Amino acid sequence: MGQLFTARTWRKSNRSNGAGNCVEVTTIRETIGVRDSKNPDGPVLCFPLAEWSAFLDRVGENSRGRG
């Protein structure tokens, strides 16, 4: 499925410090693609939108001290 993401627009976090230690994300249909910003031609991790949303919710809970 990673091949589907090759011509997509990828986004980095606005909190990225430019040191190259971040990931980029994109969306195609109901799937989120995640890749290493240092290796844009490398593998892409693919997550169903519902699972990605649950992950972000959990990360948000932990960052607020609720996890």
Confidence at residue 32, expressed as pLDDT on a 0 to 100 scale:
93
Distance CA 20, CA 26 (A): 18
Distance CA 31, CA 5 (A): 10
Distance CA 11, CA 26 (A): 6
Confidence at residue 49, expressed as pLDDT on a 0 to 100 scale:
95
Q: What is the pLDDT along the chain (67 residues), one digit of tens a residue?
A: 555 666 668 888 777 777 767 889 999 889 999 988 888 888 999 999 999 999 999 988 777 665 5
Distance CA 46, CA 19 (A): 24
Domains of the chain, by residue range, sit at: 2-12+20-63
Confidence at residue 3, expressed as pLDDT on a 0 to 100 scale:
59
- 50 phi/psi in degrees, rounded to 5: -65, -40
Whether the predicted model's global pTM rises above the 0.85 cut: no
